[in-house]
Chain A
Amino acid sequence: MRILRKNTDQMAISETELLALTADMEERHRQTLPKMHAAVAEWVEGEGAAERSRVSRRGFLAGGGIVVVGGALLAACGSSSTKSATMPSGGGSSAPVDVQAGAMAASLENLAVFAYGAGISAATAGKLGTIPPAVVTFATTAKSQHQDHANAWNAIVTGAGYQKVTTTDPALISTVQTDFAQVKDAGGLAKLALTLEDIAAATYLNAIGVLSSKQAISTAATIQPVEMQHAAILNFVLGTYPVPNAFAMTTGARPVTDYSVKK
């Protein structure tokens, strides 16, 4: 990976200070994980246990298709918030909405992990030209946080007796792969990442109006702002005003019931 290090002398102190701040942030981040785990554990003990019992009696889950991918990434999301809040667009699973939403969210987070991972790999292989160090740090940190998000949702999914979601969102993966093939530089990678972050934030905002358990709502509420923070920094990197809206939007939200979670 080619990383620019201009003005090394000028920025030496700055880098040190910033690294110290980053270490402090990492510590704070680690402190938040036990709280999230506690919230998820409570869900598993409560509503998750009830659901495991219910699913066990039922013995099966109705399968369902997925949204057909077509066109650009946002078009592939294709649903209004109203529709997604009330109408499954193809999942058709009989799992509780919180489990379905958790599986959908986990698959979206897996997609983000995949995209950032692919970007980092391509940059390491020198396929994206010179990558500024701030972009490398961004991608590495965002990827790690998306993995944490995926783990949180999978804890809810498996706690209810369903299979861990290890795949990327089936409705978007092929479009992301196609779009990623067109990425030639850091700017292109940032644009693709911004689209994914916007979709994730919109999906969580939409889900907050649909989820039923307070633990699931709380999980979505603690993640949605982080995705929006990722988007703010990406907008800044791309030279776009970083906080473009006074109110977050659900445009591009993935329907919460669009992932066919399996028992």
Chain B
Amino acid sequence: MSVDEHALGELMEQSADLQAAAMHQSTEALNEMVEVGHDRRRSGDIDPDQDMAAAARRQELMRKSLVGVGTLAAAGFGAAVLGLFDTPAFADSATDVQMLQTAASIEILAVATYQTALTLPFIGGSSANPVVKAFATTTMAQHTQHGQAFNAAAQQLGGKAQSAADPKYAAVVKAAVPSIKGPADVVGLAIKLETVAAETYVADVSAYSDLNARKVTASIMGVEAQHVSILLAVQALLAANAPQLIALPPNLTDLPGAAGSIGFPNAFYQTDMASPASEGALS
């Protein structure tokens, strides 16, 4: 394994510094959101019509995202998603808060999943690839911060903090865990969760009525997409029986040509797997 663990440690330290700077920016956005939330509550300016409009916007966007996916998808998962948007209970609630709570629930599940994965010998133990282990550890920490940011945003808009994992995908993880036999299984599961997170946030960004909720979510969606990107590359190298190439820095000369584009399959990020606002929202 061509990994300089000391150098990797230094890189992680630099990454932590950069992350702290990014957190500062996010905190500023959250503080702005706090002020907006306070103002709205003080003035009683939480407008049900505005929330209805936001729900309608998001429903419209989701309908568009389903166009072209195909009749089968529209009649299955897509129809279920649109059905949720049509319920009066959903439309009467603060949609921004719901989206933030659902986002927090996805982050909570991601943290729990990586935490569990790190207890496995081939992810967090002595037989683990150091880069994979470092990635899982750092990514778990980043998801923790994302969850905190979403919950803070929800609370400051008058909602409650979400402390439970997304129920739909918690069931998916629970069902998948017994069949995990090696790193590829974990990576495949992580790709699914990260994709759901990224696509949900991409869809949410154009549906928020609150500008700062939009900004906070936008600052997170690309990071989840980066997680997907690296996981796709790792998955491809594992599938190609070339785990020795999962290294930092990589041995560029040995990487297959196709590895150069495996991490960004689409010119435009998709939203087919976006979760509806109510999926992880508190009632």
Task: Name A residues whose Cβ lies closer than 8 Å to a Cβ of B.
Answer: 3-4, 6-7, 11, 13-15, 17-19, 21-22, 25-26, 28-29, 31-36, 38-39, 130, 132-142, 144-145, 148-149, 152, 186, 201, 205, 208-209, 214, 217-218, 221-233, 236-250
Contact between B15 and A221 (Cβ–Cβ < 8 Å)? no
Interface residues on B, range: 35 or more
- CB <8 Å contact, A233 and B268: no
Q: Closest B residue to A31 by CB, please name it.
A: B68
Most buried by A among B214, B219, B228, B241: B219
The answer to whether B262 touches A25, judged by C-beta atoms less than 8 angstroms apart, is yes
CB pair B198–A244 under 8 Å, yes or no, is no
Residue of A nearest to B4 (CB): A239
Measured between C-beta atoms, what is the minimum distance from B224 to chain A in Å?
8
Which residue of the partner chain B has the closest CB to A243? B226
Among residues of B, the one whose C-beta sits closest to the C-beta of A25 is B265
Give me 26 A-to-B residue pairs in the complex whose CB atoms sit less than 8 angstroms apart, sorted by A's number. A13-B241, A15-B257, A25-B265, A29-B266, A35-B64, A38-B67, A39-B64, A133-B255, A133-B260, A135-B252, A136-B260, A144-B267, A208-B215, A214-B207, A221-B202, A224-B222, A225-B221, A226-B225, A228-B225, A229-B229, A229-B264, A233-B260, A241-B12, A248-B218, A248-B219, A249-B25
A236-B25 contact in complex given A14-B241, A225-B198, A229-B225, C-beta closer than 8 Å: no
Which B residues lie at the A interface, using CB under 8 A? 7-8, 11-12, 14-15, 18-19, 21-23, 25-26, 57, 61, 64-65, 67-68, 134-135, 138-139, 141-142, 145-146, 149, 198, 202, 205-207, 211, 214-215, 218-230, 233, 236-237, 239-242, 248-250, 252-271
List chain A residues, Cβ under 8 A from B141: 246
Q: Determine the distance from Cα of A175 to Cα of B263 in the docked complex, in whole angstroms.
A: 29
Given the complex, which residues of B lie within 8 Å of A32, measured CB to CB? 266-268, 270
Q: How many residue pairs, one in A and one in B, have C-beta atoms under 8 Å apart?
A: 261
In the bound complex, do residue A248 and residue B22 qualify as a contact, i.e. CB atoms below 8 Å apart?
Answer: yes
Q: In the bound complex, do residue A7 and residue B254 qualify as a contact, i.e. CB atoms below 8 Å apart?
A: yes
Given A134-B259, A243-B223, decide whether A236 and B233 contact each other with a Cβ distance below 8 A. Answer: yes
Partner of B267, one of A29, A133, A135, A232: A29
- The reply to whether A229 and B228 contact each other, CB–CB distance below 8 Å, is yes
Q: Which residues of B contact A13 (CB under 8 A)?
A: 240-241
Chain A min CB distance to B222 (Å):
4
Q: Which residues of A contact B256 (CB under 8 A)?
A: 11, 14-15, 18, 133-134
Contact of B139 among A11, A137, A239, A243 (CB under 8 A): A243
Q: Which residues of A contact B7 (CB under 8 A)?
A: 239
Q: Which residue of the partner chain, among A19, A140, A233, A241, contacts B11 with CB atoms under 8 Å?
A: A241
CA of A260 to CA of B89 in the docked complex: distance in angstroms?
Answer: 47
CB contact under 8 A between A22 and B202, given known A32-B270, A225-B222, A239-B249: no
9 tightest CB-CB pairs across the interface, nearest first? A239-B249, A14-B240, A137-B260, A133-B257, A225-B225, A18-B258, A25-B265, A138-B260, A228-B222
CB-CB < 8 A to B269: which residues of A? 221-223, 225-226
In the complex, chain B residues whose CB is within 8 Å of the CB of A205: 218-219, 222
Are A134 and B260 in contact, with the CB atoms below 8 A?
Answer: yes
* Minimum C-beta distance from B254 to chain A (A): 6
B109 to chain A, nearest CB (A): 17
Cross-chain contact B255 with A249 (CB below 8 angstroms): no
Report yes or no: B268 in contact with A36, Cβ–Cβ below 8 A: yes
How long is the Cα–Cα vector from A263 to B223 in the complex, in angstroms? 37
Q: How far is the CA of A17 from the CA of B235 in the complex (A)?
A: 12
Give complex CA distance A184, B149 in Å.
42
Apart from A236-B233, A243-B15, what are 4 other A-B pairs with CB-CB below 8 Å? A33-B268, A139-B260, A238-B249, A243-B139
Cβ A141 vs Cβ B260 within 8 A: yes
Inter-chain contacts of A145 with B (CB < 8 A)? 264, 267
